[in-house]
Structure 1
Amino acid sequence: MLIEFKAENFRSIRDEVTFSLLASSDRSLDGNLIELDALRKNDRLLRSAVIYGANASGKSNVLLAMFNLQKLVMTSVRNQVGDSLPFEPFKLTPQCRSQPTRFSVFFVRKNIRYKYTVSFDSTKVIDEDLYYYPNKREALIFERRNTTEFKFTTDKRIQNDISKRTLDNVLYLSNSAQQNYAQTLEAFKWFKEELRIIGASTLSEYGELTIEMLNQDAGSKEAILRSLERADLGLVDVTASIEDVDLSDLLITIRKSLPRTFNRDSGKIQEININTFHLAKDKDGKEYNIPFDFNTEESEGTKRFFSLIGPWLKALSKGQVLFVDELELKLHPMLSEHLVKLFHDRNFNQNNSQLIITTHNTNLLNDELFRRDQIWFTEKDADVGNTNLYSLLEFQVRRDQNILKGYLMGRYGAIPFISS
């Protein structure tokens, strides 16, 4: 579970911004809250949060910052001497281009809190440290300063050996986990297993994960079909497959009507076949299923929902933290609300999964869906051009005040100012 995330000097984010899923003292909508033994006394976590803002205000960059941290943790161990790191500093202030990017994340894994921080530029990791809180007391796992200066309090011989084999452009967290060092492995697994980030342009409309779940077992397929039925898309069944294409026969087998994707993990071209089934009646009124071609005969909204429902159900079943950029794309507002409510419903969300979305769908701005501490905004600084991230809590909105009306009137900022 995610507690808090901080980012500094990344894309449109110049000064440090903090995104927190720690709940306020407000007791409304307690179904939206998570209580854990691992947290400090009286602390609770939120099951979801929503980020609003004008176009180009930096909403997506908040999610992209978390994605880049995850990618860095997962892939830096592959770096060779001289390979560059994904350094994307704030460009509108000249001195920021020579300063490091810095990320910090607080999270819970197996009922233990962790705090991980890293700063880096294009050539090297500069600072890096990992703390954890067994028995709710802070303990250092490792500390890295000035790229090569390490400090350890436990397993000093083992960790010193690992540090000597850690390149300047490789995270110690990644390298030590790769070498199966137990103290860092759990933190690494949180990034690998419990964090999933879906960008507005990175989610395939063909829903490879949904297809995988359809073919996984009967229970998974039933869950997919039940969700599609609840969404009122008119589907009664779906069959789908993903098959590797033999490159030697590619020119012969290409058929423009069939979608293909390139799987970066396997380096293979894959052919995706999806057939949906709708209910029809013959002249005697007898019902039967008739197949539709998913690629050419289904609506864009149906394709979008199909691609989302796999990651959605997996996140709910695995207790994952799910980030989704621009949830409302091609979806009816009521479908977006339905997807959010699944994370708030303890019957569906039994594993304390969390959802963070960016959206322009103002229909979600209501007291029956989100608490005030779940609503966030991004706004560009008019003078410098950097992103500011802040919570609705900062405005001390009265309980009887209409949040949607206040937002559209510009009381909280984060809306476009369109010249006449």
Structure 2
Amino acid sequence: MQAWTSLLVVYSQGCACNRPPSRGNCPMLLSFRFANHRSFRAEQQLNLMPAYGDGDEAGESAPQAVPVVGVFGANASGKSNALGALTYMREMAVGSDRAVEPGERLSREPFRLDVSAIAQPSRYVVDLLLGGTRHTYGFVVNDARVSEEWLYHYPVGRKRRVFERDGDEFSWGEESGRRGDLGQIAGITAPTALFLSTVARFGHSRPEPDPANPQPLHDTYRWFYLANRGADSSLGPSVLLDNSRADAQRLRHLVVDLLRAADVGIVDLVLLPERINFDHVFPEHTFHGLAARLRAGSEALIPHRIQFAHQGPQGMALLGLQDQSTGTRQLLTLGLRAAEVLGTGATMLVDEIDASLHPILTAKLISLFRSPKANPLGSQLIFTSHDAALLGTLDAEEILRRDEIWFVEKDDEGASSLYPLTDFKPRKEGENRQRRYLNGNYGAVPNLSNHLFEQALATRGDSDDAATR
């Protein structure tokens, strides 16, 4: 499994456009606060700043933000909703200027188990480290519109306003620059759109941040744009067929090497052309002989399908993606996403990271983000899981540090709360967190009733007997 790290190191360096690894300038999520989103009624905070100082964890110097956060909890406790809140904020920041047609209401999902909460606004705030400078961006929305929006940054540790929005009224900071241009863009910002996404669409964006010439608006937008890309399956196995990507060949080699390292029985990847009836596509009478030329020139455009080579007793056998196990397909998808994220210094969100994967594979994926060698650009991974094994150790090393573990629990009124393991003052060594969690010491476990389980199954059995009489 050590091969995983070296393979993704090579790929991430190839994706990083030869940028030198400088963790001081790495974009990082420092904290995320949100309120009135799905099962979360009160404001919650996911804090990614380390809880322990230099040298507290195995002689490591403390980073400015932890590279990994794992969120654990029972089924239906709200783990997915916590990640969903950050995903919603990202979608609004990137596409709110195009998401809502004029006259339509804003899409949001407030806490619906309390009638009073439905009428209350929802709030989302991130603290980011961009170019070595802290930025705070947030907004408040109700069903009708964006009611508030703001962006601050903290050069040399002092709070500076970039812009503030109250309804349709905007105010600018002294260092905002090009106020006339920003004022014009503010004038065309729809009530249901964020100014951040509107200025990115109509302003002058740039592909890379420039620490020597910071632009808080564009640098903040870029963090959201890169965050969680590929979660919509655009970085799934089909990307291996996309020859328009400059890194297509490298991706294919990476996939083969990763699958070999994971010991899933795959030894190679083959792209086979689909069979096309050109006589049907380009009949002979088409434009007096043009069909023959079109047929000849279309060979490069023939679609392909992915085949995976497995070693058998008589040699290699080719099997399609649909013939692979669910775990292999999950590993393939997560491996592709991780390679992309590690090469851009972005943030990756994964709901139920352990789904269909062996705990060792899941732990190895997590370790890639914690390794400075595999993760030179400071990418971050935030995931949810039910797998208590991830609270333990692998090869005598912690899979997750104490300040990388969070829990979600739902109260009797159906409202979720988010809290860290550090609230329980865990010891650095000698504490079996996996066992303590399963024993309920940290909460966030199902409150099961053996009696009700047995009663429900007995009732079902009686019903089945009655139905067969």
TM, length-normalised to structure 1 = 0.83
1:21 matched to which residue of 2? 48
Are the structure 2 counterparts of residues 271 and 419 from structure 1 closer, same or farther at C-alpha, using a change threshold of 3 Å?
Answer: farther
Aligned residue among 402, 407, 411 for 2:432? 402
Q: Which amino acid aligns with 1:381?
A: D
The verdict on how the C-alpha distance between 1:130 and 1:299 changes in structure 2, with shifts beyond 3 A counting, is same
Q: Deviations over 1:76-96 (max 9, x none)?
A: 111332122222110111111
1:300-339 to 2 correspondences below 5 Å: 300-339=326-365
Q: Does 1:208 align with 2:221?
A: no
Task: Indicate the larger mover: 206-215 or 123-132.
Answer: 206-215
Aligned to 1:298: 324
Residues 242 and 332 (structure 1), Cα distance of their counterparts in 2 relative to 1, 3 Å cut:
farther
Deviation of 1:242 after TM superposition, in Å, equals 11
The answer as to 2:305 corresponding to 1:273 is yes
Check the 8 A contact 1:119/1:126 in 2, yes or no.
Answer: yes
Aligned to 1:232: 263
Q: Distance in 2 between matches of 1:311 and 1:143?
A: 35
| Structure 2 counterpart of 1:185 | 218
Contact 2:90 2:227 in 1 (8 A): no
Q: Is the 8 A contact 1:53 1:377 kept in 2?
A: yes
Pick the aligned partner of 2:378 from 333, 341, 352.
352
Correspondence for 2:35: 8
Q: Which moved more, 1:358-367 or 1:206-215?
A: 206-215
Q: CA deviation at 1:34?
A: 6.4
Match of 2:84 in 1: 64
Farther-moved stretch of structure 1 (167-176 vs 20-29): 20-29
Q: Secondary structure at the match of 2:343?
A: helix
> Per-residue CA shift, 1:47-93, capped at 9, x if unaligned?
10100000010000000001111111122111332122222110111
Rounded to whole Å, the distance in 2 between the matches of 1:52 and 1:298 is 29
Distance 1:204 1:158, change over 3 A: closer
Report Cα offsets for 1:311-369 as digits up to 9, x if no partner. 01111111111110001111111111111111112221111111111001111102612
Which structure shows the higher helix fraction?
2
- For 2:328 and 2:60, how far apart are their aligned partners in 1? 28
Q: Counterpart amino acid of 2:153?
A: Y
| 2:252 match | 221
Q: What is the CA–CA distance in structure 2 between the aligned matches of 1:197 and 1:307, rounded to whole Å?
A: 9
Task: Determine what percentage of the aligned residue pairs are the same residue.
Answer: 31
Q: Is the 8 A contact 1:23 1:33 kept in 2?
A: no
Tell me whether 101-110 or 73-82 shows the greater mean CA deviation.
73-82
1:326 partner SS = coil
Are 1:113 and 2:134 matched, yes or no? yes
User: Residue 414 of structure 1: CA displacement?
Assistant: 0.2
Aligned: 1:169 with 2:192: yes
**Residues in 2 aligned to 1:14 and 1:391: alpha-carbon distance in whole angstroms:** 18
1:91 aligns with 2:124: no
Q: Which moved more, 1:360-369 or 1:24-33?
A: 24-33
- Cα RMSD, aligned residues only: 2.7
**CA apart distance, 1:401:** 2.0
1:6 CA drift (Å) = 0.7
Cα pair distance change 1:360/1:31, threshold 3 Å: farther
SS in structure 1 of the partner of residue 431 of structure 2: coil
Q: Match for 2:41: what amino acid?
A: R
Deviation at 1:112, TM superposition (A): 3.0
Question: How far apart in 1 are the matches of 2:146 and 2:117?
Answer: 17
Distance 1:102 1:242 in 2: 50
Asked if the contact 1:7/1:103 (under 8 Å) is kept, the reply is yes
Q: Answer yes or no: is the 8 Å Cα contact 1:323–1:355 preserved in 2.
A: yes
Query: Residues 242 and 248 of structure 2 are in contact (CA less than 8 Å); yes or no, is this contact kept in structure 1?
Result: no
Q: In 1, Cα distance between the equivalents of 2:325 and 2:116?
A: 48
Bigger mean CA offset, 361-370 vs 118-127: 361-370
**Aligned residue type for 2:195:** Y
TM-score by length of 2: 0.75
CA distance 1:33–1:276, change in 2 (3 Å): farther
- Tell me how far 1:241 sits from its aligned partner: 8.2
Q: CA deviation at 1:215?
A: 8.0
Tell me, in whole angstroms, the C-alpha distance in 2 between the residues paired with 1:304 and 1:359: 15
1:143 paired with 2:176, answer no
8 Å contact 1:6–1:103 — kept in the other structure?
Answer: yes
Q: Distance in 1 between matches of 2:35 and 2:180?
A: 34
Letter in 2 for 1:100: P
Q: 2:368 aligns with which of 327, 342, 345?
A: 342
Contact 1:63 1:197 in 2 (8 A): no
**Aligned residues between the structures:** 378
Question: In structure 1, what is the Cα distance between the partners aligned to 2:90 and 2:172?
Answer: 24
Q: Which region of structure 1 is more displaced relative to structure 2, 308-317 or 102-111?
A: 102-111
For residues 32 and 67 of structure 1, what CA distance do their matches in structure 2 show? 31
Instruction: Write the distance in 2 (CA, Å) between the matches of 1:180 and 1:22.
Output: 32
Give the structure with higher Rg (CA): 2
Secondary structure of the corresponding residue to residue 313 of structure 1: helix
* Distance of aligned partners of 1:369 and 1:339 in 2 relative to their CA distance in 1, 3 Å threshold: same
Aligned to 1:261: none
Q: Which residue identity does 1:190 align to in structure 2?
A: W
Q: Is the 8 A contact 1:205 1:303 kept in 2?
A: no
Please give the alpha-carbon distance, in whole angstroms, between the structure 1 residues aligned to 2:386 and 2:124: 26
Structure 1 residues 212 and 338: alpha-carbon distance in aligned structure 2, compared to 1, 3 A threshold: farther
Residues 378-407 of structure 1: CA deviation (Å, up to 9, x unaligned): 00012x211100000001123322111110
- Give the one of 97, 112, 117 matched to 1:77: 97
